Structure 1
């Protein structure tokens, strides 16, 4: 789902309507995506090496509280801003973007609550390890 949304934003939205790449929404989306990936892959690298600094785990399971709303709201804003130009290209394109935006809202809630559940599970496990 994450890959599909990124492909949608980069190819179907921004590539089709390049003026969106000059917006603050595009910049904030790229910042959220970039920081998320740096943290995620740093976490994976350290975990695979057998060394897991506490700060990396903390970043992995806490930065989403800021980065996810920033990223998802930026993505929604870009899709919203693309609807009118898409309508001028083809009405069905605009309808597809509206449908995607409609799905984003409940989908983002489901994903955010899933990440919070993952965080609770991992952080609870770390507390048990410290107690042992």
Structure 2
């Protein structure tokens, strides 16, 4: 086994274990009848750790470890990370929003399928049923996660307008202004279009993969 292959197997296995722990934490909290805020506080530390670590996937694509677009990988990571690190985590009142738990649950449910499929494909031993799950479960989970992200963006707008975090106001030495609140309004307007472009590409990939799938694994890049 090549070093690069072993690294990809270990990386994807670690991500799979991490997201499984996130999903397990949420499931335990639900059984305990915890509030959305308690669910978020329980699952957030691991979510932030493994979502942050996913930035490595941009480097994987950039150096050719996986046949993916570095820009696409970065954009996908940035979209999630913006919601998690810049909106949801700093705005405490969003922790109690039910969409926060829905978002983490949708992310985790998708990743506990995706990363094992990547690990098995890196070994060239991906079973047909896992490929089927990878290219089928995103159909409900991806829209659910995006809907939750957008709901949290909308809920964050009043706080962004009041506190003006991450913004630069005039006058300043550079004579340049930036409104994060306005930026998020633009992102919200573009989100459905960007989502549909990615979702439709995944649907096309699903048709191709499942049509030709015979259970054999292949090296794949990040596509969600």
Q: How far apart, CA to CA, are the structure 2 residues paired with 1:24 and 1:95?
A: 25
Q: How far apart, CA to CA, are the structure 1 residues paired with 2:158 and 2:206?
A: 38
Alpha-carbon shift at residue 15 of structure 1 (Å) = 2.4
Gaps of 5+ in 1: none
How much is the aligned-residue C-alpha RMSD, in angstroms? 1.6
Q: 1:55-94 counterparts in 2 under 5 A?
A: 55-90=129-164, 92-94=179-181
Alpha-carbon shift at residue 8 of structure 1 (Å) = 0.4
Aligned to 1:125: 212
Indicate the structure with greater helix content.
1
Normalising to structure 1: TM-score of the pair?
A: 0.90
Q: How far apart, CA to CA, are the structure 1 residues paired with 2:145 and 2:193?
A: 15
Higher gyration radius (CA): 2
Gaps of 5+ in 2: 1-74, 168-178, 217-224
Q: 1:4-23 counterparts in 2 under 5 A?
A: 4-23=78-97
Q: 2:184 aligns with which of 62, 83, 97?
A: 97
Q: How far apart, CA to CA, are the structure 1 residues paired with 2:126 and 2:183?
A: 43
**Helix, strand or coil: the match of 1:119?**
helix
Aligned to 2:104: 30
Alpha-carbon shift at residue 16 of structure 1 (Å) = 2.5
Alpha-carbon shift at residue 23 of structure 1 (Å) = 1.5
